[in-house]
Amino acid sequence: MGPRILVTGALGQIGTELVGALENKHGQGSVIATDVRDGTGCQILDVMDAESIHSLVSREGVTEIYHLAALLSATGERNPELCWKINVEGLENVIAAARANGCRVFAPSSIAVFGPDCPSIAPQFTPLNPTTVYGKTKVVSEQLAMTAGVDMRGLRYPGLVSYKAPAGGGTTDYAVEIFHAALAEGHYTCFVREDTRLPMMYMDDAIRATLELMVVPAEELGGARGGYNISGCSFTVGQLVESIQRHLPNFTCAYEPDVRQKYADSWPNDIDDDVARGEWGWNPEFDLDGMVDAMFAGLQG
Ligand SMILES: NC(=O)c1ccc[n+]([C@@H]2O[C@H](COP(=O)([O-])OP(=O)(O)OC[C@H]3O[C@@H](n4cnc5c(N)ncnc54)[C@H](O)[C@@H]3O)[C@@H](O)[C@H]2O)c1
């Protein structure tokens, strides 16, 4: 028998693609997609409702939980108390159900765990002093992975770039919005400066990393298990604009930094992912131009 999989937050940017990838791998009936919002092929499940999670997991014989429900950095900083509740209490509810039913858990971390004291190329092991509440919730998630008494794993996703679903209220949303604006208006007004350089990743790489991490035998994973650094490609907004101009030579971009500039400035420019490469063979496939080409192919296809 293959795994029986529960996905929370399945209607979001990652869930929209991860559910299909899990179904391709394990079979159509293997995945129960859930979200607090109503959506096609998705059951309602609020991760704040511990009892409902527990009864769904035991009733359906769930063996793996991909816990994607969260508030992201920009939305979270507008409502820090709710961000803490959903990201930490929601995760604790998922962990409790997993522990009671013997499930494995995937819970994403983020480059937001790093703070201004982190070197510009973020090492795997370094003090984690994030300035955002969102980042703090991800540090807690990584720590719980090591202490919760369940097989729980995570990746420090960089900003994820994809075309199938809108970005979900994070600081790196500009790297998704810019493509839609370029095609619709030929112009984008970016909320961070032109020289802002952040770690990013094309969604196909992120989904592959997730699937690859979850098949590694537990005994082969070390102290980074709660949040592996994985790098895709790092670029400035200016470099992204130039790459887009290969497709749309008349595309222009203006810069009007808002509060999200502060969050971006507190994060590293690049990621050192030697531990993920060494322990489970991580290797990204998409560089900046490859990602931009895939975005245009997807949006125009
Ligand atoms: N997208 C990125 O660039 C990125 C980067 C780093 C980490 N992550 C992490 O990956 C995970 C998924 O991110 P995403 O980009 O898909 O986010 P998203 O905002 O696009 O989707 C999150 C989903 O969670 C749902 N949700 C919110 N509150 C809920 C609740 N109480 N119960 C159930 N569902 C609820 C929302 O309706 C939404 O569909 C999050 O943990 C996020 O922190 C994402």
Q: Which of 17, 19, 35, 176 to mutate to test the pocket of ligand 1 (most atoms within 8 A of CB)?
A: 35
Q: Can you tell me the distance from the alpha carbon of 19 to that of 211, in angstroms, rounded to the nearest whole number?
A: 11
The Å distance, Cα 301 to ligand 1 centre, comes to 26
| Model pTM score | 0.98
Give the mean model confidence (pLDDT) for residues 88-105. 98
Provide the CB-side half-sphere exposure for 12 (13 A, CA).
Answer: 21
Shortest-distance Cα residue to atom 38 of ligand 1: 12
The answer, yes or no, to whether residue 265 has pLDDT greater than 90, is yes
Shortest-distance Cα residue to atom 21 of ligand 1: 12
Give the mean model confidence (pLDDT) for residues 254-265. 97
The answer, yes or no, to whether residue 244 has pLDDT greater than 90, is yes
Task: Please list every protein residue whose CB sits less than 6 Å from any atom of ligand 1.
Answer: 8-9, 11-15, 35-37, 45-48, 68-70, 72, 86, 90, 108, 110, 157, 159-160, 168-170, 172
Ligand 1, residue 161: give the atom nearest the CA.
Answer: 3
Domain 5-158+203-229 listed as CATH 3.40.50.720: yes
The Å distance, Cα 69 to ligand 1 centre, comes to 5
Long-range contact pairs involving 205-210 (C-beta distance under 8 Å, separation at least 24): 205/232, 205/284, 205/285, 205/286, 206/14, 206/155, 206/157, 206/160, 206/230, 206/232, 207/14, 207/17, 207/18, 207/21, 208/285, 209/155, 209/276, 209/282, 210/18, 210/66, 210/106, 210/155
Ligand 1, residue 73: give the atom nearest the CA.
Answer: 43
Tell me which of 3.90.25, 3.30.2170, 3.90.930, 1.10.3470 is the CATH number of domain 160-200+232-271+286-300.
3.90.25
Percentage of the chain lying above the pLDDT 90 cut: 98
Shortest-distance Cα residue to atom 39 of ligand 1: 12
The answer, yes or no, to whether residue 129 has pLDDT greater than 90, is yes
The Å distance, Cα 230 to ligand 1 centre, comes to 18
Percentage of the chain lying above the pLDDT 70 cut: 100
The Å distance, Cα 248 to ligand 1 centre, comes to 31
Q: Which of 134, 157, 163, 188 is catalytic?
A: 134
- 66: annotated active-site residue: no
Shortest-distance Cα residue to atom 12 of ligand 1: 68
Model pLDDT, residue 1:
78
Model pLDDT, residue 294:
98
The Å distance, Cα 169 to ligand 1 centre, comes to 9
Which two three-digit tokens encode residue 235?
């670029």
Model pLDDT, residue 300:
95
The domain locations on the chain are 5-158+203-229, 160-200+232-271+286-300
Ligand 1, residue 72: give the atom nearest the CA.
Answer: 43
